[in-house]
């Protein structure tokens, strides 16, 4: 759970500007992340996105 936060000027570009991340970024490497709750959280003047989520699918088994 992420709760009761104020995030100012967070997120942005990393790794030589190759990837951009939100102030809150959830990244699942091959599996879902169940039960995530974000509440009572202010995101102010984020440099990229307020929040983002990404999932990388597991490699195919073929």
Residue 61 lies in a domain: no
Query: Does 62 fall in a domain?
Result: no
Residue 39 lies in a domain: yes
**DSSP secondary structure letters along 1-62:** -EEEEEEES--EEETTTTEEE-SEEEEEESS--TT--EEEEEEES-SS-SEEEEEEPPPP--
pLDDT at 59: 52
Asked if residue 34 is part of any domain, the answer here is yes
pLDDT tens, N- to C-terminus, the chain (62 residues): 888 988 888 877 777 777 777 788 877 777 777 888 889 988 888 776 566 666 665 455 55
- Decide if 22 is inside a domain: yes
């Amino acid at each position: 759970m992420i709760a009761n936060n104020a995030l100012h000027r967070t997120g942005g570009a990393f790794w030589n500007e190759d990837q951009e991340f939100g102030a809150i970024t959830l990244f699942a490497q091959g599996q879902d992340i169940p039960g995530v709750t974000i509440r009572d959280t202010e995101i102010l003047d984020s440099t990229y996105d307020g929040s983002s989520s990404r999932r990388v699918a597991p490699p195919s088994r073929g």
